[in-house]
Amino acid sequence: MEALLASAIGLLTAVGIYLMLRLRTFPVILGLTFLSYAVNLFLFVSGRLAVDAAPIVGTTDTPADPLPQALVLTAIVISFGMTAVIMIMAIAGHLQAGHDRIDLDDRDGA
């Protein structure tokens, strides 16, 4: 299973970076979402994988590491807040500038 998860993390990172390199706001935000998935998963697996070992006292003696879980839990909520903020910024940019390009100077974006 480790290989599956590692490959999923790698793939999510790659998709995230590819989308973030696009030149319009919406794909960039999607890319950031993908990158958040990858980062959250990466942090989560830093506690190593365990099956049937939810860190609830009394249900197991060899629990999964609860600390990365707690950190990722708040990270998930915060990344929602961040996505929401850049989303409104993207909308504001589009409504004010009339386009949704991200680059001030996109000469090299041909």
Contact positions with another protein (CB under 8 A) in 34-53: 34, 37-38, 40-42, 44-53
Give the Cα separation of 19 and 29 in Å (integer). Answer: 8
26 binds another protein (CB under 8 A): yes
In the complex, least distance from residue 35 CB atom to another protein, rounded to whole angstroms: 10
Instruction: Tell me the two tokens of residue 107.
Output: 């000469």
- Contact between 61 and 28 (Cβ < 8 Å): no
Around Cβ 12, how many Cβ atoms within 10 Å? 20
The CA-CA-CA angle for residues 66, 2, 40, to 5°, reads 50
Least separation in angstroms between CB 36 and another protein:
9
In whole angstroms, the minimum distance from the beta carbon of 50 to another protein comes to: 5
Quick check: 64 binds another protein (CB under 8 A)? Answer: yes
5 binds another protein (CB under 8 A): yes
| d(C-alpha 7, C-alpha 59), whole Å | 31
CB of 97 to another protein, least distance (A): 10
| Residue 32 sits in the site that holds another protein (CB under 8 A) | no
**24 binding another protein? (CB under 8 A):** yes
